Amino acid sequence: MDRRRFIASAAGATLAASSGAAFAEEEGAAMTKRFAAQRWALDNIIRANGIDWDQPRSFYLSAPCGVEANADFAAIRARVQKMADIGPAFESTARRREAKARAAEADGNPVTARDNWFMAAIHYGAAEWPYDDSGKRHLELHQKKRECYANYARLANHRVEAVSIPFKGKSIPGWFHLPPGHTGGKLPAVISIPGMDSFKETGVALANDRWLSRGVAVLAIDGPGQYESPLLGVYVSMQNWIDAGPALVDWLVARPEVDARRIGVTGSSFGSFFGTIVASHEPRIAATAVIATCLEPGCHTIFEEASPTFKKRFMWMSNYTDEAKFDDFVKTLTWEGHVEKIRNPYLVVAGEADELSPLEHTERMIRTMTGPRQLVVYADSRHSVGNVPAANLGPFPPALVADWLVARLNGKPVTSERWFVQATGQVVKTPL
């Protein structure tokens, strides 16, 4: 077997060979029977439905970039006609944005350079997505993403710091953001956990970020198994996510800018599950707010009924190449026996028609919990909560999550309720 060892610098910006470093084995992409058998169908589905066939990735990747990136993503949607187009489409767009950033810096235009460095980083991160391995191409794209984002951080209008949080002899990578204009004093902080197919660089928007604009510091991470972490040898497991909470909170508590009593967690998609497990085992988490649920114990729907890309990617995230062994492993992925420990406020926002994690599992979890909690369900919405009348006319989901979590971190009590946002935008509230 060809083995390569890589180590991240303190900023995580470069990867270099090192015999003493945490390493990821280059074994090629994980493979599933369904992905192999359905590849021809997958390409036809993409040709018919575009890059957003499985989830609205071009929209959630575009959102943190702002309106200037709309044309980028429109062109990518037009270009991608099959699975093999995804990486090259994003990479070529990333290179164009990177070139614009360099030219802007050379011309003395730091704001234009900053914006283009940010967009280039997002596109390079998106280009990584099809590579479910720790191979050379993946690592090259990863390094370009880190390089571009570090350049954005250098020019950002707020403090952005690359961090490497010690974890079981390895590390959890992240970016730590302070609100613009912060000059001292203790701030509330949020640990931002992305989904299976997203990455920490998307955790804070280029402009008008929902956390920073509310005076909240953000620790945006790639937790165990997410994007950069497998490249550092840190994979998904229940124990790793149970242990991640104390490591992350210890790091935040040691920061002079952070109020140790006001640390929250937010997570989207599979980050909803990871964030829930973190909150279950770290009592210093003052409040938790998650959205777009992946809360089905054992994850049957997302791995066996949805696009085969989900299972294939998660096998790499958890360091499995044997599908039968992975099938046994996923049975351990459950909130059962964990959420009963959550005592601080908890919010979950879900789509009524979630096709990746049926709502019934979220409803059962909420009934199992005993602490202060709130469930908000949007009528007709699928997994990615939004793009339905309920979300357009009712509370805007990302703003609802931010307002709710900030209110909890500021000590405002919560009433345990189930909200159903109707297609009219009206909210029907019932007690839990």
174 to 19, 92, 163: CA distances (angstroms):
24, 26, 5
**The pLDDT of residue 37:** 86
2 to 136, 146, 170, 318: CA distances (angstroms):
12, 25, 22, 20
**The pLDDT of residue 17:** 30
Residue type, 226: Q
Pairing of strands 417-421, 427-431: antiparallel
> In sequence order, what are the residues at sequence separation of 6 or more whose Cβ sits closer than 8 angstroms to the Cβ of residue 18?
5, 6, 7
Residue type, 368: T
**The pLDDT of residue 29:** 63
What is the rounded distance in angstroms from the CA atom of residue 89 to the CA atom of residue 94?
9
**The pLDDT of residue 182:** 96
Contact present, 326 and 320 (Cβ < 8 Å): yes
**The pLDDT of residue 11:** 37
**The pLDDT of residue 36:** 85
Phi-psi region of 387 (alpha: psi -120 to 50; beta: other; left: phi over 0): left
**Chain segment 48-103, per-residue pLDDT in tens:** 999 999 889 899 999 999 999 999 999 999 999 999 999 999 999 999 999 999 99
**Chain segment 152-169, per-residue pLDDT in tens:** 999 999 999 999 999 999
What is the rounded distance in angstroms from the CA atom of residue 61 to the CA atom of residue 204?
11
Pairing of strands 258-268, 187-193: parallel
Q: Which residues of the chain have pLDDT under 50?
A: 1-27
Residue 284 CA from chain centroid, whole number:
22
